[in-house]
Homo-oligomer: A and B are copies of this chain.
């Protein structure tokens, strides 16, 4: 065992930390102002500072770091986590600047792993170049989508086309007019075996019959600064059969393959969020006077700070170990750990954010600080690809199975 990061990762971290200090943090206020002046509130990429940050990230070699293998930066999951965390400290800007923002990363991975040459040329390359963006349309309003067999959207072969009908919501990023393509999950064969009913197709934003109905809110936020969460309706939407990803019946398997890295990224960025919150909490505690002494001298505040540190240190190690397992034994071998970080991260970070808000008084809930928005984003993670309770249930079943095997040690 060795808990030290390798030299390349440390170097990239230094590079990224400089980028954060010199470019990203100073850009936060600028971005907010520019956003407020956009004609289309969802077209966040049109804020000039975004392009400037992207140029700088590219110049520094901080571009597409998420993508493993030769086409990407060649980083392992473990190496990438150390960078994803730092980018999470400024979650609206840094990942986007580095072309490492959800849901595009997951979508690019899907195309990278399963796309045809044509699909790669048409969609993957512009995504890797940061020219367009994408969305992943899986969740549906009327069913518990954590159980993929509940999906009701239909994808029906009709001659050389697929015809799509259904309704989706919480499709992150899809309000951004530059999200030019959606990966849509639906059923091609409702009569097949449970996990062979689903397929995924690529649907261009401008396909007739595809309607972007509205942006969903999270607490009071519409999250326009990263493209919101759209409700979509598909009415006889027709795409060429060549837009099918991988093959009919492969939808569930693709979704599973997409999950592992996606969760690692989310979790590490969430830890970055928590670190920023702890930092803000400590600074506020030092500055704010109440009843004749700084908050930093109040025992209860100190208790929160200590608990925050102790919890986040444990959590980070588990996420890192999970990344390492994915690197060494594969996503399937890391299944339980991937569930574990999905369970542990949002609730731990929520606890820390709640305390950080409390230390800031009402300002902590307001638009003057990022804490409330961070809280809202993190709260959604307790639902993202299945509520906590579904993951706990599954993890417990696995544990029970393992513990009750005869030869268990």
| Contact present for B396 and A305 (CB under 8 Å) | yes
In terms of DSSP, what is the predominant structure of the interface of chain A? helix
Q: How far, in Å, is A328 (CB) from chain B's closest CB?
A: 8
Determine if A71 is an interface residue (Cβ-Cβ < 8 Å). Answer: no
Copies of this chain in its oligomeric complex: 4
Residues in B neighbouring A375, C-beta threshold 8 A: 219
- A303 partner residues in chain B, CB cutoff 8 A: 299-300, 303, 389, 392-393, 396
Q: How far, in whole Å, are A358 and B146 apart by their CA atoms in the complex?
A: 13
Q: How far is the CB of A79 from chain B (nearest CB, A)?
A: 9
List residues 303-340 of chain A with CB under 8 A from any CB of chain B: 303, 305-307, 309-311, 313-315, 317-318, 320-321, 324-325, 328, 336-337, 340
B362 and A383 form a contact (CB under 8 A)? yes
How far does the Cβ of A16 sit from chain B's closest Cβ, in whole Å?
A: 11
In the complex, A141→B368 CA distance in Å? 11
A78 CB, min distance to chain B CBs, angstroms: 6
Would you call B17 and A219 a contact (CB within 8 A)? no
Is there an interface contact between A380 and B399, defined as CB atoms closer than 8 Å?
no
- Which A340-372 residues have a C-beta within 8 angstroms of B? 340, 343-344, 357-358, 361-363, 365-367, 372
Say yes or no for A22: interface residue by CB 8 A criterion.
no
Determine how close the nearest CB of chain B comes to the CB of A390; give it in whole angstroms.
Answer: 8
Minimum C-beta distance from A335 to chain B (A): 13
A217 touches B400 (CB 8 A): no
18 pairs across A/B with beta carbons < 8 Å? A1-B78, A1-B324, A217-B372, A219-B373, A220-B222, A278-B399, A279-B403, A286-B403, A296-B400, A299-B393, A300-B300, A302-B392, A305-B396, A307-B343, A309-B340, A313-B318, A358-B388, A365-B376
Given contacts A3-B324, A218-B362, A299-B389, 8 further A-B contacts (CB under 8 A): A144-B290, A283-B404, A302-B392, A305-B396, A310-B340, A317-B318, A317-B321, A361-B383
